[in-house]
Structure 1
């Protein structure tokens, strides 16, 4: 029996904040929603990601501040266009705040090598991906140095980031 909490448990146990930093230009191109979107099929976020919407809505309704920052190359990749198009119906609808930061503006920021979630500034879930953007096993860390690096990086990206409502795809 595993003692490592699931992502859902980490989110449900979160009391104050959940922040997510994304730094890749593409993820999981095998995702059926992305495949459908590239084929021109309309995507209904409420239908496709009902579990995610419920999880985040529950967290934000109890006062958890959920923020997501995305570092993107410009012009953006097709995958980033997909993420941008579903953000209102998915992330924003669930109560997340989302900001976008063009990669060219990140030179002065010390960034970790991987995407991550940081829960209550205490538990770090490091996301790993293969070269094609497919998910590998994440790693949970409570290392104070890793947490500080990731927290500082997120806040730096957040301060420079452009709110979703103001960001225009390049």
Structure 2
């Protein structure tokens, strides 16, 4: 694979069929927007029962890959206090993502700043290639940069290590309430 720009979610999803051992995500935004999750978020905010059918394809990807030994790790950088979206994402993770096989942890925004973590989202695959995620001000995905340059990937590998080392699982996080 070569350096390239990823412009759509389908292109990004295809990356999850290419890695072998591990996928790591750092999430730093307070809100994400997308047509898939708009109605489920509204249901959460208005106290309606959840409808998680929109996330089933992702959960199936996670289950399939973890059953074959792959790891999905995610660190979410959380506002203090958490935003409504972050509360929704936590409930969804506890109900869906974690049971499917993702290991999701949290880190406060202040701690992430102290650790000098990047202010943008990224996925790192097999600790060998990275996609930096781009979102507009409303939280809509606008594209990603695919990176394989070893010196740049090395920096992301270090950020992932630091974020993971200093994060806490959702189940035990004091921010999880």
TM-score by length of structure 2 reads: 0.86
**Matched pairs, number:** 168
Is 2:148 aligned against 1:148? no
- Among 9, 19, 22, which residue is 1:17 paired with? 22
- Using the size of structure 1 for normalisation, the TM-score is 0.89
Structure 1: state its 5+ residue gaps.
Answer: none
- The offset of 1:71, in angstroms, is 0.8
Select 1:130's aligned residue among 122, 136, 141. 136
> 8 Å contact 1:68–1:99 — kept in the other structure?
yes
On the 8 A contact 1:19/1:119 being kept in 2, the answer is: yes
CA contact (8 A) 1:72 1:100 kept: yes
Q: Which structure is higher in RCO with an 8 Å CA cutoff and minimum separation 6?
A: 2
Q: 1:55 and 1:125 mapped to 2: Cα distance?
A: 18
Q: Which runs of 5+ in 2 are unaligned?
A: none
- 1:55-113 CA-to-partner distances (Å, cap 9, x unmatched) read 11111111111100011111111110000111122210210101101112223323223
Shift in Å at residue 29 of structure 1? 6.8
The two structures, once aligned, show a CA RMSD in angstroms of 2.1
2:171 is matched with 165
Distance 1:8 1:29 in 2: 15
**Higher alpha-carbon deviation: 140-149 or 124-133:** 140-149
